[in-house]
Amino acid sequence: EPEVTQTPSHQVTQMGQEVILRCVPISNHLYFYWYRQILGQKVEFLVSFYNNEISEKSEIFDDQFSVERPDGSNFTLKIRSTKLEDSAMYFCASSASSGRALGETQYFGPGTRLLVL
Amino acid sequence: AQKVTQAQTEISVVEKEDVTLDCVYETRDTTYYLFWYKQPPSGELVFLIRRNSFDEQNEISGRYSWNFQKSTSSFNFTITASQVVDSAVYFCALSEEYGNKLVFGAGTILRVKS
């Protein structure tokens, strides 16, 4: 069964460093997402991406964050200068749909646990 | 604005008991979609069910069943004859018609003891 994969599973970084989290969405999916979950809290939407551009982003997704689809399979989240409060589990998700993603099911990867020291 | 409330922070049951997880949502849209996801101790998010706002039929899948009631804006999830492997955090989520982000509830921790 196709699945979303994410690398690395864990990342430890120093405050102020740049990190890139990588995701390989399900191959025939067209919408891609990033969410984060601070330890013990709810899952929060960061950004959605379709047709090589951001379709929606949350207030959390400020100028420190960027997303990219550098090739036909990878989808990345970059945090330019990490802060202590960026420590969280970051989930990538993807959904099918060739147009407006009308409530399509989003399938999540296993997550990357980011720890900023 | 959309909002999902899972008022039960944590529930503990003994194996074979039935358990219902509550979910109440708020939205101004007439078309919307509701989801349940399971997060086991390993941390991944596992999709369980999707429902659109026009389909109020209850659904049963094995030991799982879902009760969608638009009149009370609720989408509750029942596990029948719970098992230890059901221990996880369960999230209810909502997406509206125009927009594709999921808004999650705070989650309910379910502990099933043997």
Give the number of other CB atoms < 10 A from CB of residue A42: 17
Q: Contact A55/B43, CB-based, under 8 Å?
A: no
C-alpha A3/C-alpha A97 separation (Å) is: 16
Q: Which residue of B has its CA nearest to A97?
A: B100
pLDDT of residue A101: 53
CB contact under 8 A, A113 and B43: yes
Structure tokens at B21: 């997880």
Contacts of B45 in chain A (CB under 8 A): 43, 91, 93, 108, 111
pLDDT in tens, B67-108: 999 999 999 999 999 999 999 999 999 998 776 799 999 999
Which residues of chain A have a CB within 8 Å of the CB of B93? 43
Task: Give dist(CA B39, CA B26) in Å, integer.
Answer: 23
| pLDDT reported for residue A98 | 52
Closest in B31, B100, B107 to A101, CB measured: B100
User: How many helices, marked H, and strands, marked E, lie in chain B?
Assistant: 0, 12
Q: ω into residue A70 within 30 of 0, thus cis?
A: no
Interchain CB distance below 8 Å, B35 and A104: no
Position A24 pLDDT exceeds 90: yes
